[in-house]
Structure 1
Amino acid sequence: MTPVATASNPAAPEVKPLGCTNLKLRQLTRRVTQHYDQHLALAGLRITQYSLLAHVDKLGPLAPGELARRMDMGASTLTRNLRPLVAAGWVEMGEGADARSRLIRITDTGREVRRLAQRQWKAAQLALNQKLGPATVVALHTLLDQGLAAFHAEPAEEH
């Protein structure tokens, strides 16, 4: 990528992005998700399920709204993704502090499934690092963190 002209470097030519950023991100996300899903299939999970199990194990028990916030996802997406985990007996929805609140907890079976799947996740992570190269992965993480920070810095849009 060519440097962008700035006050400190006025001679640098201007760089203009080409193509749709959303399309490029979605294409990469699909490929990376497929990569992780192939590895996690050996443990009977998809990456979304593994991520939920890992978060509930690490953070739980916690309210669904708090889990959605911590995972940066909408409540309806969280509910849809939790259903198969509850049906499998890996997480449970129990009562919270009062009759109106709920808490999500990982079960002993869920903790065991997560432990087994963690080996597959690590294999997927190492294989991805090798496929892309460590420097690319570090650069990608840096760019993604910068992008996420930019979105978190602005007020949420109301629909």
Structure 2
Amino acid sequence: MNRPISYDECNCFALRQAARHVTQIYERHLGSVGLTAAQFTILAKLARTPNLPMAELADAMVMERTTLVRAMKPLQRDGLVLAEAADHDNRTLLFSLTEKGETTFDQASVAWRAAQDEFEKKFGRARAKTLRAELFSITD
């Protein structure tokens, strides 16, 4: 007979609960700029790597393409992200920040830093660094 699941032994539950808690911190700060945490991470990736094809962006974000398309719509609608057809293939869309997107990203980076500092103050800088390394190792 199977024993009942204990949530204190469930990795998925612990990760999702922690992710929701941390996301709330970041979204409280990023909300002042009008972005969600997910939108900020997309802008951050595009700020580092302009003209990124959809497939590569989805892989980098560890998102399904359909989920990424839904996430990109408000960013495009608000004039923060531009999608242009690639020269070599009109079916391939390349995403980059617009001038407004760059300005918004710069403003959001200040809010992100405040969220980062709040988290690290509560959790500890060294522990946060170790946690990031462990979490990134899961998706490497």
TM-score (norm: length of structure 1): 0.78
1:59-70 matches, cutoff 5 A: 59-70=49-60
Q: Which ranges of structure 2 fall in alignment gaps of 5 or more residues?
A: 1-7
How large is the Cα RMSD of the aligned pairs? 1.6
1:42-121 matches, cutoff 5 A: 42-97=32-87, 98-121=89-112
Q: Give distance in 2, aligned partners of 1:91 and 1:146.
A: 29
Task: State the AA in 2 paired with 1:21.
Answer: N
Tell me whether 1:136 sits opposite 2:131 in the alignment.
no
Query: Does structure 1 retain, via aligned residues, the 8 Å contact 2:83–2:93?
Result: yes
Q: Which ranges of structure 1 fall in alignment gaps of 5 or more residues?
A: 1-17, 150-159
Q: Give distance in 1, aligned partners of 2:55 and 2:64.
A: 9
Give the aligned length: 133
TM-score (norm: length of structure 2): 0.88
> Identity of counterpart residues, as a percentage?
33
Q: Give distance in 2, aligned partners of 1:104 and 1:147.
A: 26
Instruction: Give the counterpart of 2:24 among 34, 54, 57.
Output: 34
